[in-house]
């Protein structure tokens, strides 16, 4: 069995993540010479080359890529163990602070309630925020946000992949000529989620996987709350887009009908973010793992 240093694996993972010894040393608060030496010692222990080094670039080897996946898991294990020890030493009751956009309230509520049923000792505070400019607010442990997201200071875990559906009430569909192409929607009353008034764009992808179209329109009704939009659609006020996380049973029961099914909204990823820090509190790691396992189970029939 090969004897290796877990700390060296952690250092290697950080160097591979940022692609630079100097940047890794800065983030790890460690001299660059120490970072370079620890990675070299790990390569000697394993007997393989993990990184290709040159004066201008740093490239991970094939075997380094395979080891990196396990190194990341080792980092998570170390952080989880550190969090457990820290929490047990402190004996302080933890308040898990979450941040989420308002259009996934039903998902977040279901996850938090299920988590609290399993871990009643953990208190949870959820900040529902419309602010999409800052992925995470100060003091927040985990934030739900839509991807893609590129940042060196945050770690993103994919929770769900789904697409919005274009829907209308069964009564509206029965009383109007159904649209066949995106441009046909301009003959209908359109309802849209929006943070402000004015023009709105809907991007569509055909089920053939080739054709794409963008529809620019001025909504007949727009608001920044999917609960109210759902009520408007149920009343027959027009055609609008809804995430499948907002009362999915309405489509399943036929109260809302998917319109123009050959043209679909692009897929989107729901991410769970946390700061790229070395120690993750036990409750944060527990909730993250719980969400990754339970979210697909709570909402299995998501439209693809």
Tokens of 13: 């993972």
DSSP state of 183: G
Query: How confident is the model at residue 65, as a pLDDT?
Result: 87
Cis peptide before 241 (omega within 30 of 0): no
Helix (H) or strand (E) holding 170: helix 170-175
Query: How confident is the model at residue 119, as a pLDDT?
Result: 84
Q: List, in order, residues 6 or more apart from 33 with CB less than 8 Å away.
A: none
Q: Which residues of the chain have pLDDT under 50?
A: 89-92
23-67 residue pLDDT tens: 888 888 888 888 889 888 888 888 889 898 877 778 889 888 888
Please give the Cα distance from 273 to 178 (Å, whole number).
Answer: 40
Residue with tokens 């898991």: 73
Query: How confident is the model at residue 91, as a pLDDT?
Result: 44
Please give the Cα distance from 262 to 273 (Å, whole number).
Answer: 33
Helix (H) or strand (E) holding 293: helix 282-298
Instruction: Count the Cβ atoms, other than its own, within 10 Å of residue 235.
Output: 11
Please give the Cα distance from 175 to 88 (Å, whole number).
Answer: 63
Tokens of 190: 């359109």
Instruction: Count the Cβ atoms, other than its own, within 10 Å of residue 293.
Output: 9
Query: How confident is the model at residue 90, as a pLDDT?
Result: 46
State the DSSP string of 77-102. Answer: HHHHHHHHHHHHHH-PPPEEEEEE-G
Tokens of 188: 């209908």
Domains of the chain plus CATH, in order, are: 6-88 (1.10.10.10), 93-160+270-298 (3.40.190.10), 165-264 (3.40.190.290)
Tokens of 140: 């927040």
Strand, coil or helix: 68: helix
Query: How confident is the model at residue 86, as a pLDDT?
Result: 55
Tokens of 47: 């007997």
Radius of gyration for the chain, computed over Cα atoms and rounded to the nearest angstrom: 24
Asked whether the beta carbons of 242 and 248 are under 8 A apart, the reply is no
195-237 residue pLDDT tens: 777 789 999 999 988 899 999 999 999 988 888 899 999 999 9
C-alpha dist (Å) from residue 264 to 61, 87, 167, 223? 40, 47, 11, 22
């Amino acid at each position: 069995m090969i004897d290796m240093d877990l700390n060296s694996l952690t250092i290697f993972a950080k160097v591979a993540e940022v692609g630079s010894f100097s940047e890794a040393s800065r983030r790890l608060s460690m001299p660059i010479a120490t970072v370079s030496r620890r990675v070299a010692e790990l390569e000697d222990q394993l007997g393989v080359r993990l990184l290709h080094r040159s004066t201008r670039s740093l490239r991970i080897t094939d075997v380094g890529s395979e080891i990196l996946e396990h190194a990341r898991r080792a980092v998570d294990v170390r952080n989880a163990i550190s969090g457990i020890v820290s929490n047990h030493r402190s004996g302080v009751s933890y308040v898990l602070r979450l941040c989420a956009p308002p259009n996934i309230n039903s998902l977040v509520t279901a996850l938090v309630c299920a988590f609290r049923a399993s871990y009643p000792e953990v208190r949870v505070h959820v900040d529902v925020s419309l602010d999409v400019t800052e992925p995470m607010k100060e003091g927040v442990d985990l934030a739900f946000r839509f991807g893609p997201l590129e940042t060196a200071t945050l770690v993103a875990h994919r929770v769900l992949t789904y697409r919005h559906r274009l829907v209308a009430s069964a009564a509206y569909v029965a009383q109007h000529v159904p649209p066949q192409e995106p441009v046909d929607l301009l003959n209908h009353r359109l309802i849209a989620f929006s943070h402000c008034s004015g023009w709105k764009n809907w991007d569509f992808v055909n089920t053939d996987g080739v054709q794409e179209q963008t529809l620019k329109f001025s909504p007949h009704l727009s608001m920044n709350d999917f609960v109210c939009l759902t009520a408007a659609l149920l009343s027959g006020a027009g055609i609008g887009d809804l995430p499948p996380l907002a009362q999915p049973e309405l489509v399943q029961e036929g109260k809302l009908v998917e319109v123009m099914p050959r043209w679909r909204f692009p897929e989107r990823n729901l991410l769970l973010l946390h700061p790229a820090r070395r120690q993750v509190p036990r409750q944060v790691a527990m909730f993250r793992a719980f969400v990754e396992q339970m979210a697909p189970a709570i909402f299995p029939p998501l439209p693809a």
